[in-house]
A = this chain, B = another copy of it.
Amino acid sequence: MNYRFIIQYDGTRYDGWQRQKTTANTIQGKLEAVLSKMVGEPVEIKGAGRTDAGVHAKGQVANAHLPEGRTSVEIRNYMNQYLPEDICVMEVSEVSERFHSRLNAGEKIYQYRISTNMVKNVFEHKYIYDLNCSLDVKKMKEAAEYLSGEHDFQSFCAKKMKKSTVRRLSEIRLEQMPGELKITYRGNGFLYHMVRIMTGTLIEIGLHERIPQDMEKIIRAKERARAGAVAPAKGLTLLEIRY
Protein backbone atom coordinates (compact mmCIF):
# COMPACT_ATOMS: atom_id res chain seq x y z
CA MET A 1 0.00 0.00 0.00
CA ASN A 2 1.26 3.48 -0.92
CA TYR A 3 0.99 6.18 1.78
CA ARG A 4 1.31 9.95 1.57
CA PHE A 5 2.82 11.82 4.53
CA ILE A 6 2.60 15.50 5.41
CA ILE A 7 5.59 16.38 7.55
CA GLN A 8 6.81 19.36 9.58
CA TYR A 9 10.34 19.81 10.80
CA ASP A 10 12.67 22.27 12.38
CA GLY A 11 15.72 21.73 10.19
CA THR A 12 18.21 23.40 12.56
CA ARG A 13 19.85 20.19 13.79
CA TYR A 14 19.81 18.24 10.52
CA ASP A 15 21.96 17.78 7.44
CA GLY A 16 18.99 18.39 5.18
CA TRP A 17 16.22 16.15 3.86
CA GLN A 18 18.13 13.67 1.77
CA ARG A 19 19.57 10.39 3.08
CA GLN A 20 23.37 10.34 2.85
CA LYS A 21 25.94 7.62 3.26
CA THR A 22 28.16 9.83 5.41
CA THR A 23 25.58 10.86 8.03
CA ALA A 24 22.50 9.38 9.67
CA ASN A 25 21.42 12.87 10.62
CA THR A 26 18.98 13.66 7.83
CA ILE A 27 15.19 14.01 7.92
CA GLN A 28 14.72 11.23 5.37
CA GLY A 29 17.11 9.03 7.39
CA LYS A 30 15.18 9.61 10.62
CA LEU A 31 11.83 8.86 8.97
CA GLU A 32 13.11 5.72 7.27
CA ALA A 33 14.64 4.44 10.51
CA VAL A 34 11.28 4.75 12.31
CA LEU A 35 9.28 3.24 9.44
CA SER A 36 11.74 0.34 9.07
CA LYS A 37 11.50 -0.31 12.79
CA MET A 38 7.71 -0.31 12.54
CA VAL A 39 7.42 -2.78 9.66
CA GLY A 40 10.56 -4.85 10.36
CA GLU A 41 12.13 -4.40 6.92
CA PRO A 42 13.90 -1.57 5.05
CA VAL A 43 11.58 1.23 3.88
CA GLU A 44 12.31 4.00 1.43
CA ILE A 45 10.44 7.29 1.80
CA LYS A 46 10.48 9.78 -1.09
CA GLY A 47 10.18 13.49 -0.39
CA ALA A 48 8.78 16.15 -2.72
CA GLY A 49 11.32 18.82 -1.78
CA ARG A 50 14.95 18.02 -0.99
CA THR A 51 15.48 20.77 1.54
CA ASP A 52 19.06 21.84 2.39
CA ALA A 53 20.74 21.51 5.76
CA GLY A 54 19.12 23.97 8.19
CA VAL A 55 15.99 24.57 6.09
CA HIS A 56 12.62 23.99 7.76
CA ALA A 57 9.32 22.57 6.51
CA LYS A 58 5.70 23.16 7.46
CA GLY A 59 4.26 21.10 4.62
CA GLN A 60 6.79 18.66 3.22
CA VAL A 61 5.07 15.83 1.35
CA ALA A 62 6.52 12.33 1.05
CA ASN A 63 5.35 8.85 0.10
CA ALA A 64 6.34 5.31 0.97
CA HIS A 65 5.11 1.79 0.20
CA LEU A 66 4.33 -0.16 3.38
CA PRO A 67 2.85 -3.58 4.08
CA GLU A 68 -0.85 -3.43 4.97
CA GLY A 69 -2.27 -4.06 8.42
CA ARG A 70 -2.17 -0.65 10.10
CA THR A 71 -4.55 2.29 9.80
CA SER A 72 -3.21 5.68 8.74
CA VAL A 73 -3.73 7.04 12.26
CA GLU A 74 -1.82 4.12 13.78
CA ILE A 75 1.09 4.80 11.43
CA ARG A 76 1.05 8.53 12.27
CA ASN A 77 0.95 7.89 16.02
CA TYR A 78 3.69 5.27 15.89
CA MET A 79 5.95 7.61 13.92
CA ASN A 80 5.36 10.59 16.21
CA GLN A 81 6.09 8.46 19.24
CA TYR A 82 9.56 7.52 17.97
CA LEU A 83 10.55 10.60 15.96
CA PRO A 84 12.59 13.35 17.68
CA GLU A 85 10.61 16.38 18.89
CA ASP A 86 11.70 18.53 15.93
CA ILE A 87 10.13 16.23 13.32
CA CYS A 88 6.39 15.59 13.23
CA VAL A 89 4.06 13.69 10.92
CA MET A 90 0.92 15.81 10.60
CA GLU A 91 -1.07 13.48 8.40
CA VAL A 92 -0.87 10.04 6.83
CA SER A 93 -3.25 8.93 4.06
CA GLU A 94 -3.58 6.02 1.65
CA VAL A 95 -2.99 7.02 -1.95
CA SER A 96 -2.95 5.40 -5.36
CA GLU A 97 -0.05 3.01 -6.00
CA ARG A 98 1.20 5.35 -8.71
CA PHE A 99 1.45 8.48 -6.57
CA HIS A 100 5.02 9.82 -6.38
CA SER A 101 5.49 12.81 -4.09
CA ARG A 102 8.20 14.47 -6.18
CA LEU A 103 7.38 13.49 -9.76
CA ASN A 104 3.68 14.32 -9.36
CA ALA A 105 4.25 17.63 -7.57
CA GLY A 106 2.71 20.58 -9.36
CA GLU A 107 3.93 23.64 -7.50
CA LYS A 108 6.03 24.27 -4.42
CA ILE A 109 5.76 27.20 -2.05
CA TYR A 110 8.76 28.40 -0.08
CA GLN A 111 8.92 31.29 2.37
CA TYR A 112 11.95 33.29 3.41
CA ARG A 113 11.83 35.43 6.58
CA ILE A 114 14.20 38.35 7.20
CA SER A 115 14.35 40.29 10.46
CA THR A 116 14.54 44.04 9.78
CA ASN A 117 14.35 44.91 13.46
CA MET A 118 17.27 46.69 15.08
CA VAL A 119 17.25 44.10 17.86
CA LYS A 120 17.40 40.33 17.64
CA ASN A 121 14.35 38.10 17.78
CA VAL A 122 14.41 35.99 20.94
CA PHE A 123 11.61 33.60 20.02
CA GLU A 124 12.04 33.14 16.27
CA HIS A 125 15.79 33.38 15.85
CA LYS A 126 16.03 29.83 14.53
CA TYR A 127 13.57 30.59 11.72
CA ILE A 128 14.50 34.08 10.61
CA TYR A 129 17.61 35.66 9.09
CA ASP A 130 18.78 38.38 11.46
CA LEU A 131 19.70 41.07 8.99
CA ASN A 132 18.83 43.67 11.61
CA CYS A 133 18.66 46.63 9.31
CA SER A 134 15.93 48.12 7.19
CA LEU A 135 15.41 47.29 3.52
CA ASP A 136 14.06 49.28 0.59
CA VAL A 137 11.14 46.96 -0.07
CA LYS A 138 9.84 49.08 -2.94
CA LYS A 139 13.06 48.50 -4.88
CA MET A 140 12.99 44.82 -3.99
CA LYS A 141 9.46 44.50 -5.38
CA GLU A 142 10.57 46.15 -8.61
CA ALA A 143 13.42 43.65 -8.90
CA ALA A 144 11.16 40.71 -8.04
CA GLU A 145 9.02 41.44 -11.08
CA TYR A 146 11.89 40.44 -13.35
CA LEU A 147 12.10 37.06 -11.62
CA SER A 148 8.42 36.32 -12.02
CA GLY A 149 7.48 34.08 -14.95
CA GLU A 150 9.34 31.43 -16.93
CA HIS A 151 13.12 31.89 -17.19
CA ASP A 152 16.37 30.05 -17.38
CA PHE A 153 17.44 30.40 -13.73
CA GLN A 154 21.01 29.16 -14.21
CA SER A 155 22.39 32.33 -12.56
CA PHE A 156 20.54 31.32 -9.41
CA CYS A 157 21.78 27.74 -9.30
CA ALA A 158 24.76 26.75 -7.17
CA LYS A 159 25.46 23.59 -9.23
CA LYS A 160 26.40 23.00 -12.85
CA MET A 161 23.35 21.28 -14.34
CA LYS A 162 23.19 18.98 -17.31
CA LYS A 163 19.42 19.12 -17.44
CA SER A 164 17.33 22.19 -18.20
CA THR A 165 17.52 25.08 -15.74
CA VAL A 166 14.31 26.62 -17.04
CA ARG A 167 11.68 27.00 -14.34
CA ARG A 168 8.40 28.85 -13.94
CA LEU A 169 8.09 31.17 -10.92
CA SER A 170 4.33 31.78 -10.75
CA GLU A 171 4.42 34.15 -7.82
CA ILE A 172 6.88 36.07 -5.73
CA ARG A 173 5.33 38.11 -2.93
CA LEU A 174 7.05 40.50 -0.51
CA GLU A 175 5.21 41.37 2.69
CA GLN A 176 6.61 43.99 5.06
CA MET A 177 5.41 43.44 8.61
CA PRO A 178 6.61 45.17 11.78
CA GLY A 179 10.29 44.27 12.09
CA GLU A 180 10.09 41.53 9.47
CA LEU A 181 10.05 41.01 5.71
CA LYS A 182 8.50 37.80 4.37
CA ILE A 183 9.22 36.69 0.79
CA THR A 184 7.03 33.91 -0.58
CA TYR A 185 7.99 32.00 -3.74
CA ARG A 186 5.62 29.74 -5.67
CA GLY A 187 6.87 27.82 -8.67
CA ASN A 188 6.92 24.55 -10.58
CA GLY A 189 10.43 23.69 -9.42
CA PHE A 190 13.47 25.21 -7.77
CA LEU A 191 17.13 24.58 -8.59
CA TYR A 192 19.82 23.92 -5.99
CA HIS A 193 20.00 26.98 -3.65
CA MET A 194 17.76 28.92 -6.05
CA VAL A 195 15.43 30.39 -3.42
CA ARG A 196 18.31 31.42 -1.19
CA ILE A 197 20.29 33.00 -4.06
CA MET A 198 17.22 34.92 -5.29
CA THR A 199 16.71 36.09 -1.71
CA GLY A 200 20.36 37.10 -1.29
CA THR A 201 20.19 39.08 -4.53
CA LEU A 202 16.96 40.80 -3.51
CA ILE A 203 18.54 41.73 -0.17
CA GLU A 204 21.46 43.40 -1.97
CA ILE A 205 18.94 45.43 -3.95
CA GLY A 206 17.07 46.31 -0.73
CA LEU A 207 20.37 47.54 0.72
CA HIS A 208 21.00 49.69 -2.40
CA GLU A 209 24.09 47.71 -3.30
CA ARG A 210 22.48 47.03 -6.68
CA ILE A 211 19.60 48.53 -8.64
CA PRO A 212 16.40 46.62 -9.54
CA GLN A 213 17.27 46.65 -13.25
CA ASP A 214 20.35 44.55 -12.47
CA MET A 215 18.03 41.61 -11.96
CA GLU A 216 17.20 41.45 -15.65
CA LYS A 217 20.92 41.41 -16.55
CA ILE A 218 21.63 38.70 -13.98
CA ILE A 219 18.94 36.45 -15.43
CA ARG A 220 20.19 37.00 -18.97
CA ALA A 221 23.82 36.28 -18.03
CA LYS A 222 23.08 32.66 -16.98
CA GLU A 223 26.11 32.76 -14.74
CA ARG A 224 26.07 32.06 -11.01
CA ALA A 225 28.80 34.62 -10.32
CA ARG A 226 26.55 37.47 -11.48
CA ALA A 227 23.87 36.92 -8.83
CA GLY A 228 24.11 37.83 -5.15
CA ALA A 229 25.23 35.86 -2.13
CA VAL A 230 23.27 32.84 -0.92
CA ALA A 231 21.03 33.83 2.02
CA PRO A 232 21.37 31.69 5.20
CA ALA A 233 19.40 28.42 5.34
CA LYS A 234 17.69 29.13 8.65
CA GLY A 235 15.38 31.81 7.21
CA LEU A 236 13.86 29.37 4.70
CA THR A 237 10.77 27.18 5.16
CA LEU A 238 9.08 24.84 2.69
CA LEU A 239 5.44 25.78 3.19
CA GLU A 240 3.43 23.66 0.82
CA ILE A 241 3.47 21.25 -2.11
CA ARG A 242 0.54 21.45 -4.51
CA TYR A 243 -0.59 18.58 -6.71
Q: Is the CB of B10 within 8 A of A120?
A: no
Give A27 Cβ to nearest chain B Cβ, in Å: 11
* Residues in B neighbouring A9, C-beta threshold 8 A: 122
Residue A8 interfacial (CB < 8 Å): yes
Output the residue of A56, A87, A119, A121 with the most chain B CB within 10 A.
A119
**Of residues 86 to 127 in A, which have CB atoms within 8 Å of B's CB atoms?**
86-90, 119-123, 125, 127
Compute how far the CA of A125 lies from the CA of B123 in the bound complex, rounded to whole angstroms.
11
Q: How extensive is the interface on chain A, given as a class?
A: 20 to 34
Contacts of A41 in B (CB 8 A): none
Q: Is the CB of B123 within 8 A of A85?
A: no
Complex contacts, A85 vs chain B, CB 8 Å: 120, 122, 125
* A134 close to B (CB within 8 Å): no
Chain B residues with Cβ below 8 Å from A58 are 123
A-B contact pairs, 14 of them (CB 8 A): A8-B122, A8-B123, A9-B122, A10-B122, A10-B123, A56-B123, A58-B123, A76-B119, A80-B119, A85-B122, A86-B122, A88-B122, A89-B119, A123-B127
- Knowing that A10-B122, A80-B120, A88-B119 touch, tell me 9 more A-B residue pairs with CB under 8 angstroms: A8-B122, A8-B123, A56-B123, A76-B119, A85-B122, A85-B125, A87-B122, A88-B120, A88-B121
